[in-house]
Amino acid sequence: MHSSEAMERPIVLPRGRPKKSASPRDGGLVYSSHSAAVEERRSAWRYQLKLALNYRIRDKGASQQIGHGETCDISSQSLRFTADAPLPAKSLIELSIDWPARRDEVAPLRLTVIGTILRCVTTDVVVLISRYGLDPVAAPAPA
């Protein structure tokens, strides 16, 4: 197999989730687990990451709901995660995710995401990202 042939082969994520091909020459087509060509409609790449997170619903006037979960996949525009309880759609949510990379290979980092819950099916939640930031985790104060 030539290197140019390898670049034209589409990439398929586990569990049949399609991903954009690495080659722009194929017109953005990908192949599903059934080997049928489909057009990718998402405008941002999705990365499958399993990371622990904490969340807080930020509704005004309502009792705040806080909980834990785990990311399923993330892009620059949205994030999907499993929550420990069903969450109300259209609610403002803040997520705090311990990022696996470290600043200068020492300081741990935390990804903070603020967005709106697009949908929630049982405990599978999709969030449309409004803002995000990657910040170093503050060291605990000495006792």
d(CA 126, CA 108): 26
35: left (phi over 0), alpha (psi -120 to 50) or beta: left
Instruction: Considering only CA atoms, give the Rg of the chain.
Output: 18
pLDDT at 131: 96
Nearest to 122 by CA among 69, 78, 73: 69
Distances (CA, A) of 128 to 14, 34, 48, 132, 140: 23, 29, 16, 11, 32
d(CA 14, CA 34): 13
Cβ burial of 87 (10 Å; 0-12, 13-18, 19+) is buried
More confident residue, 43 or 123: 123
Percent of the chain with pLDDT over 70: 65
pLDDT at 44: 73
Residue pLDDT, tens place only, 31-49: 333 333 444 455 678 889 8
Question: What secondary structure does DSSP assign to 96-141, as a single string?
Answer: EEEEEEEETTTEEEEEEEEEEEEEEETTEEEEEEEEEEEEEPPPPP
Distances (CA, A) of 61 to 1, 87, 120: 62, 17, 22
Residue pLDDT, tens place only, 63-72: 688 999 999 9
d(CA 102, CA 108): 5
Q: Which domains does the chain have, with CATH numbers?
A: 3-39 (no CATH), 47-136 (2.40.10.220)
